[in-house]
Structures are given as structure tokens and as C-alpha cells.
Structure 1
Amino acid sequence: MTDMVISRRQQWRVLLPVGLAIVLSLSGDLTLYTVLPAYAPALGLGLSTVGVLLSANRLVRLVSNSAVGLLLDRWGRRRLFVLGMGLGTLSTIGYVVSQQFWFFLTSRLLWGVSWSLINVGAYAMLVDTTHETDRGWSFGVLQVFIFVGMAVNPLLGGVLTDWLNFQSALAICAALTGLGFVIAWLALPETMVQRCPPHAVHRRRPADAIRWLISQRHLLAIDYLALLTDFAGDGIVLSTLSLYLKRQYSDTISLDGLALRVASMGGALLALRALISAGISPFAGRLSDQKHSRWTAIGWGLVIGVAGMTGLVWASNSWKLLLSVVLISLSGGVLRTVLPALMGDMADEAHRGAASGGLATAGDIGSAAAPLIAYTLLAVMSLQSVYLLSAISMASGLVVVWLVGKHNIGTRLNRAYTE
């Protein structure tokens, strides 16, 4: 736990370079998601191969997140975050150098390791530089950067590819990621406070950190909720939204006389999701700081998410569909902000990296499993039934909140105020 007051100016010294670096680092990855399926035939890649390439980075993170978390507790934060930005630049350059499958796959795996270093490192640094009374706001601001990156980079990558070509667009993305590397290298301070001799830190065994993490039922509960958020709230909806629109509305959707094609509507809904989540994140984080009740905020986030998922089951017109997407977006913004803040409240100083790695791994398990499970279930049931099962799975999180968080974090915060 941070036992000294850190000014808002000091927090911005970390938040600003971290946030800018993350936005720039996402340019290559999100450009691939946007244009690779369309350009695959020209590159000699089949659609099944594209699926492997786009999922490879997530699969490697199931291992690299936890490993990075352990290294952060041993080696500090700054050097590993900067290393992640450097590897991200190299991976994007790899897309430009060669489109041969194995070279491309190696670059995607390298990006997976890079994102672990960036994402888990960012979580650990924010926990280092915040207190329980302002941690939610800080994570909310970080989510704004992430959601802005998710909204802007696909559009930028698509426009650059249409204006120039596939390789030139990715070369520009590599330059942008390289700019993020320079920003992190020049502006980012070390945030880990060393309270014991270096030789004692390096004697810590990974097995001890893993045993500690498994013994923390509050952290395990938070990890489960993160898995639900990325599985039901984001993974299922994001991977099936275009299919849902196609099945419900064929080729055209009408909103009060305004006709939109399915592809345009799908893109508009995803952009709207990012903007809504970005808008609610700092507000939700700040509210959880002020009310001293992150568990309550998480509970409401789950309720809103269940309502949105259930709404998709019975969305009989385009306005009900829009309302459901808005609710799911609000839920995602709340949960993605408050869950890591609560993780930071619960993790002790010696294990912040390990706790951050565990949270990131749980989320990646959910997002990686969602498309596979959804499309497997679609062979035996309707899409509405899949959404209903997703709503039920998210509702299970409310049981966890009640069992684990019913005593609330307020007692812990009250103790912090008197220290």
C-alpha cells in the first residue's frame, strides 16, 4: 500500500507518458484487425490463417502476463515498460518486412509479449503512484487513453491503407509505436519504491509469489470478475455483433428513416461503445474513490451489463438494440476501471506486479475463450440463446460480489485515513 501522499501533478507525470505510449502502441495491432481480413488474399493468406495470426498474440499472453508480473516485482517497472514499447516497434516493423506466414506469426507472438510488458507494467505503475482515495480516478483516465486508442487507430489504419497501401500503412504505424517508445524512454519515471536490499528482492522465488496470489481470495474474486467482463460483456458481443446485425436486419438497418448498411452500423456501434466507455470511466473511478465502495460500483456495473446482454435477447427493433449496446458499453467502462483499482487496493507492495499480471491473464482468458465458445454454441442454439447464457454467466459475478465484497472496502479505507 502506498503510505505517502502523491500529488496529482506527480500522477500525471506517469499517466501522461503511459497513456500516450499505449495509444501509439496500439496502432499496428488494431490496423491489422481492421484491414488484414480484407487484404489476406492479396498477401497469399487464407481466412483460417488470418484467424491464427490475429489470435496468436492473445494466446501467448496467457503465459507472458504472469511472467511479466513476477519480473516487475523483481526488476522494477520503467525498464520493462520501455522494453515492451521497443518490442512493439520491432513487431510492427516485422509486418512490413515480410508477410510470410511464419515471419508474420513470430511478429504477432512478439507483439503479445510486448503488450504484456506494456499493459501489466502500466497497471503496476498506476498502483504505485496512487492511493485508495484516488486510484479509481487514475485508472479511469488510463481507460480513456485505451478506449481512444481503440476508437482512433482502426480508423487511421483503414484510411492509411486505402490512401497508400498495406505495407506503407504499417510502416507509419511502426513509426508511431517508435514515437511511443521515445516518449516512454524520455519521460517515464521509475515508480517502484525499493524498501528492501536488492539481493533480497532477487532471492524471492516465483513459486512464493504464485502461492501468495492463490491464497488471496479477494484477488481471485477480482480476477474472476475480470474474466466475466472480457468474456460476456466484451468478448461475446464484439465477436458476434456483425453476425447479429446480419441475421436480424439482413443488409440494411433503419433508424427513424435513416438507412444504414450492416457494416456501417456495426462499425458505428463499436465506435460508440469505445466513446461511451471512455466517457464513463473517470466518472466511475472517481465515484468509487469518493464513496469508498468499489464493490458496490462493481455490483452496479454487473447489473447494467446483465441488463444490456438480456436486452440483446429481446431487442425487437433498432432502438432497443442501440440501448442494449449503450448499457453494455457503460458496464465495460465501469468494470474495466474499478476492478484494477480494487486490485491495487488489495495487493501488498511486494506483489503488485504479480497481482497485475493475474488480473491481465484472467481478462485475456475471457476474451480468448469468448469467440471459440460462442461460435461452437451457435452450431446447436440461436444467437439469442448465446446472449442469454452470457447474461447468466455475468450474473454469477453478483454472487461473488455479495459473498466476497459484502463487508466492503470502506473499513480498509477508513483505516487508511487514520494512518
Structure 2
Amino acid sequence: MGKLERSRVKLFAILFFTLFCSMMGAGIVAPLLPVYALNLGAAGIMIGFIFSSFSISRSIALPAVGYLSDRFGKKKFITFGLISYVAVSISYCLAKSAWTLVFIRLGHGLAAAMIVPVASAYVGELSPSGHEGKYMGILNVGVFGGLGVGPFLGGVISDAWGMKTAFLTMAALNTIAFVIVLLLVPERKGTGKIIEASSYFKLLKNGRILALMTYRASHFFGVGIIWSFMPLLIIGGHRLSTTYSGGFISLSVLTATILQAPVGKMADHYNRKIIALLGGIFMVVAMAIIPFSSTYTMLCTGIILSGLAGGFIAPAISALTVSEGRFQHAMGSVMGLVLMGQSLGIMLGPIIAGELMDLYGISAAFLSGSVVALVGLVLFIVFGKDFTCETVIEHSLPVRGA
């Protein structure tokens, strides 16, 4: 292994561990927030708005953060995002009303826009051409692994020592991640030309980028519903504790985690579009099964299917995004736009599902996720017609911005 390769592996390992710690901290909130919001007087639509406020601020910030990180360097955004996470974690302990949680979640979303998207763009630039699926798949193990462990850990800590202890644990994990990045990660600027802000409109006219954005949005519409309302389904419908609620969410995320590396490698050798579409089919079925689960076996089946969806979609879409970012010479900008689609899905899912829950019950909330996932499949096929069977997109696309 040469010096350059050793340096690449070292940086990758540091960013992997950093994202694992940070996302584990973020995952701790998942099983607690709906119950916390209910205790502060929130109804279904308000719970959805509390969850969605995170994605509102994240969606607004992502394009600007992607552009600025391409121009001024990525490390400063990651470190500022991590230290902001610490402040947000402590703020959760001080919330006195449902509206206070809304403002805390807005701050949480701004901080989040500076961490995973920018770190993913950093790794995207590190990854060798033709190995995007492998690198992004392994990185997603850190992201999904942290999110998978977090909800279960949050449920256990909350049941044993209270919610505020869980929030402080989130602060501690992000402090560790902040110190690691500050001391061990070098600054890195974009490797290609810097696009002007007006060029975002050109990127948004690109069919491949629209396909990636809409598919991310439709998938995370359902993910947002699971994270927002699964605790209410488990605790209210099945009469189980917060630990079980966190455990079921963790089951979904850990299922996705296990698949990230092998499916990422698969995405370097087989048609990434087909792999992503298979994940979408899993999501359609999962969101239809979960609300009508009368037994724990049926509920686990739906949860595992939702994890399989993430296990196929995330590495394939991440690899396509990195290839497109390299092709456009704007890794941070393309990554920011695609993840903005993800944030829009997480933002709209809980709000729409919350309104449906108030009107028709919790089953309608989950079924809306199945319908949107199906629409996402169709749009991905339509907008993504330029994706070919080639594994590396920049080798197969003749015209930029087509």
C-alpha cells in the first residue's frame, strides 16, 4: 500500500468513526422525541411539525453549505456543525414547550447540514474512480450503524436514567467527534472548478440530478414517518416500552447497515439504477405492512423490509451521486442538492402523516409513505432515463447537463 493510499484509508477511517459517533448521538433522539413532545402537550400534527422543522432548516442550508464547502474547504463546516450539535443536545434538556422543541429542531437541522453532506462530499473526492459504491457503501455503514445503535441506546438510557441523560449522552458523543476532526482531519478544498450560485438552476434541470433528488425525497418521506410515528404505534398500539420502541427502529436501521458494504461493492459492478429500484419496491411493501401488523412477527417483517429498502437504495444512490458530482466538477454542490431532496422528504413525511393521523388514524399515516414510495419509483424511472448500465456514470454520459 503506497503512501497516498495509506493517507486515504486513514482519513476515511477517521471520517467513518466521526460520523458513527455523531449519528449515534442523533439516533438517540428518535424514540424519545415523540413521547417528549406529547408530554409537552403536542398533538399529531405538532409532532410531525417538530420532526419536520429539522428538515426545513437543513433543506434551506444544504445548497449554500455545499457551494461554500466547495469554495472555502470542508473541515471548518464539519467542525462547526459538530460543536453546534453539542449545543443543540444540551438545549433539548431545557425545552419547556412544544414550540421550544420546534426552534431547537431548526437549530439541529442547520448543524446537520454541515456534517454528513460535507463529510460525504469529502469522502466522495477521496474515492477512486470506479470504486464510488465501495467507499460510499462503507461510509454509510458508519452513518446507518450510528443511527441504528442510537435509538436502542436512547431507549435504554431513558428508561434507566431519564430522557435528559440521553440528551447529554448525545452531547458527549458529538464532543468526541468534534475533537477527532479538529485534531486529525486536514482541510480539503474542492478538486474541480467552483460553480456559480446561478448554476444551481442548471443542475436542477439535469434529469439525472432530478432523479436522484426525487428518489431520495420519496424514500425519506417514509423514513420520516417511521422515525416520527413508530414510537406512538409501538407504545400506544402495542403497549410496549420506550426500549422496545427504540429497538424496532434500530432493527430497521441495522438491517440497512449490514447491507451497505456488500451492496456498495455490488453497485460498482452492476446496474446501480436497478439496485436502487429494488430498494424502492421493498419500501412500498414495508409501509403497507407496518400499520396492519397484528403480530410481532408481521411487525418485524415490515420493519426489516424498510431496512432492506435503505440497504439497497443508500449505496446505489450515493454511488450515482458521487459519480455525478465528479462529472459536474462540483462534488459538494451535487451532494448538497441530492441530500436536500432527502431533507424535503423527511420534512414533508411527518407533517402530512401527522395530519392524516389526526384525521383518519395512524394507519393512514403509514400508508401515505407506501403511496409516495410508489410515486418515487415512477419518477426515478422517468427522470433517470439517462442512467445507463455502465457502473461509472462519468464514463457513459456524453453531454454535461443533459
**TM interval, short-chain normalised:** 0.7 to 0.9
Query: 1:6/1:356 Cα in 2 relative to 1: closer, same or farther (>3 Å)?
Result: farther
Contact preservation (8 Å) 1:213, 1:354: no
Q: Quote the sequence identity (%).
A: 23
Counterpart CA distance in 2 for 1:172 and 1:243 is: 23
Match of 1:79 in 2: 76
The one of 303, 310, 328 aligned to 1:332? 310
Matched, 1:302 2:247: no
Counterpart AA for 1:342: L
- Using the TM superposition, give the Cα deviation of residue 286 of structure 1 relative to its aligned residue in structure 2, in angstroms: 0.9
**Partner residue of 2:201?**
211
Shift in Å, 1:367 = 1.1
**Residues 2-401 of structure 1 mapped to structure 2, 5 A cutoff:** 9-26=6-23, 28-35=25-32, 45-47=40-42, 54-95=51-92, 98-99=94-95, 107-160=104-157, 167=164, 170-195=167-192, 201=194, 205-208=196-199, 210-232=200-222, 234-244=223-233, 250-251=238-239, 261=240, 265-291=244-270, 293-312=271-290, 315=293, 317-347=295-325, 348-381=327-360, 383-384=362-363, 386-401=365-380
Report the CA distance shift for 1:58/1:181 in structure 2 as closer, same or farther (over 3 A).
same
Per-residue CA deviation, residues 75-116 of structure 1 (Å, 9 max, x unaligned), is: 1222221222222233334456x5466887665433322110
Which structure has the larger Rg?
Answer: 1
Between 1:341-350 and 1:273-282, the stretch displaced more is 341-350
TM-aligned CA deviation for residue 183 of structure 1: 0.6
Deviation, 1:267, is: 3.3
Residue 117 of structure 1: SS of its match in structure 2?
Answer: coil
Q: Provide the secondary structure at the position in 1 that maps to 2:127.
A: coil
Aligned length: 391
Give 1:365 shift: 1.2
Which runs of 5 or more structure 2 residues have no equivalent in the other structure? 397-402
Stretches of structure 1 that go unaligned for 5 or more consecutive residues are 252-260
Q: Give the residue type in structure 2 aligned to 1:305.
A: M
Q: Distance in 1 between matches of 2:74 and 2:62?
A: 14
Structure 1 residues 212 and 190, CA gap change in structure 2 (3 angstroms): farther
Q: Which moved more, 1:164-173 or 1:179-188?
A: 164-173
Check 1:184–1:272 CA distance in 2 against 1; reply closer, same or farther (3 A cut): same
Question: Structure 1 residues 305 and 164 mapped into 2: Cα distance closer, same or farther (>3 Å)?
Answer: closer
Corresponding position of 1:254: none
State how far apart, in whole Å, the 2-side matches of 1:285 and 1:121 are.
Answer: 20
Measure how far apart 1:222 and its partner are. Answer: 0.6
1:347-387 deviation per Cα after TM superposition (whole angstroms, max 9, x unaligned): 23532211111111111111121122123223554655554
Offset at residue 226 of structure 1 (A): 0.2
Amino acid at match of 1:140: G
| RMSD, aligned α-carbons | 3.4
Cα offset for 1:337?
Answer: 2.0
Does structure 2 retain, via aligned residues, the 8 Å contact 1:24–1:179? Answer: yes
| Contact in 2 for aligned 1:128/1:191 (Cα 8 Å) | no
- After superposition, the Cα gap between the structure-2 partners of 1:380 and 1:141, relative to the gap in structure 1 and judged at 3 Å, is same
